[in-house]
Structure formats: structure tokens, C-alpha cells
Structure 1
Amino acid sequence: METYNIHEAVCKVRYVKISPIKARRIINQIRNRTFKDAVTILSLLPHRSCPIILKALKSAASNFRQVFGVDNIDLLVTEVKVDNAPFLKRICPHAQGRAFPIKKHFSHITIAV
């Protein structure tokens, strides 16, 4: 069971079609940074997971403003994590009638500000 601070807003994005390892590489760059710094970093990095994480980060900030009714406040990215989601199993045909498995990975992204 997850517990969060009283003055914390959370955004959870589930079943994102990206590998958790690739998303964690970006998540580690924005952990414990201010909201403005995290937005700048995510908008400048060229990786495929950056727009997804940026959208989740902006959603968490919007949730904070909606719940607590404050507009101009320095938000801090307190918790960011990427968990494994169930993966799709596919089959790739190989020589001599064999079949090799392909795992298409998904992620659950949680961001708290």
C-alpha cells in the first residue's frame, strides 16, 4: 500500500508502451528537482519516453494546483518511479520450425509533486 504526504499530488500513468529500463534512465534525471528544472530537462532530452513523462509531470502539477488551490508555488518532484507492467507475448518464427518469444514491455509511471 502506498502512502503519500498531505501536501502532495500524484499522477499515475499505467500501461505505457515503453520498457521500464528505458523510462528509468530518464526518471533518474528528474528525481528531487524542482518542477521548472524537470520540465526543462525533459523538453531538451531526445529520448522517446520524455514526452510521456513530461505529460505525467504536468498532470501531477495540475493536480496539485487543483486540489490545494495555489498557483505560483515552487513544486518539488518528491517521488518518481517506474514499475513493470504485464508484457505482451509474441512469437517470432525461426529456422527449422522453431519459435522464439518476443516480450513487448509496458510500464507504470508514478510521479508525485
Structure 2
Amino acid sequence: MSAHKARRVIDQIRGRSYEETLMILELIPDRACYPIFKLVYSAAANASSNMGSNEANLVISEAEVNKGTIMERLV
């Protein structure tokens, strides 16, 4: 998955509620959605168990995609 594709998906979910985010990620036909879906689901489960937050009250306020690793071959 490229960082550009992941950024496009992240831009769609930033600022939305947890439930709305899951619906969006299920409907976008992009391979980048599944890893982001798993990440959001895991973060919500952690917030629910560690902080006692209700999943209905969660909002995706910040989301970033780093460029990733760049490998160069020296000749």
C-alpha cells in the first residue's frame, strides 16, 4: 500500500465519529481501507478497555500517514 493511497483514505475519515468511520471504510473500494479499518477497530477497543470510553463517543480527531521506509540501492 502506498502512502498516497493511505492518505486519501485517512482524509475521508478524519474528524468523523467511530461508527461513521467504520461505515466509510467498509464502502470505499480501496485495498488501503482494510489495514486502516483494523487499526481504527483496535484503537477503539483499546480506548474502550483502557480508558472506559464508549465507542459511540469516539471521534477520529488526528490521523497521519508517514512516508514509510525508503530503500536505496547503492551501486
* Larger-Rg structure: 1
Q: CA shift at 1:58, angstroms?
A: 0.3
Larger % of helix: which? 2
Structure 1: how far apart are the matches of 2:39 and 2:33? 10
CA RMSD of aligned residues (A): 1.6
Once superposed, which parts of structure 1, at least 4 consecutive aligned residues long, lie more than 3 Å away? 70-73
| Equivalent residue, structure 1, for 2:45 | 62
Q: CA shift at 1:32, angstroms?
A: 0.3
Larger % of strand: which? 1
Higher relative contact order, structure no. (Cα contacts within 8 Å, ≥ 6 residues apart): 2
* Structure 1 unmatched runs, 5+: 1-17, 91-113
| Equivalent residue, structure 2, for 1:28 | 11
Matching of residues 1-113 of structure 1 within 5 Å: 18-71=1-54, 73-89=56-72
Give the TM-score, by structure 2 length. Answer: 0.86
Give the TM-score, by structure 1 length. Answer: 0.59
Instruction: State percent identity of aligned pairs.
Output: 37
* CA gap 1:72/1:53 in 2 versus in 1, 3 angstroms: closer
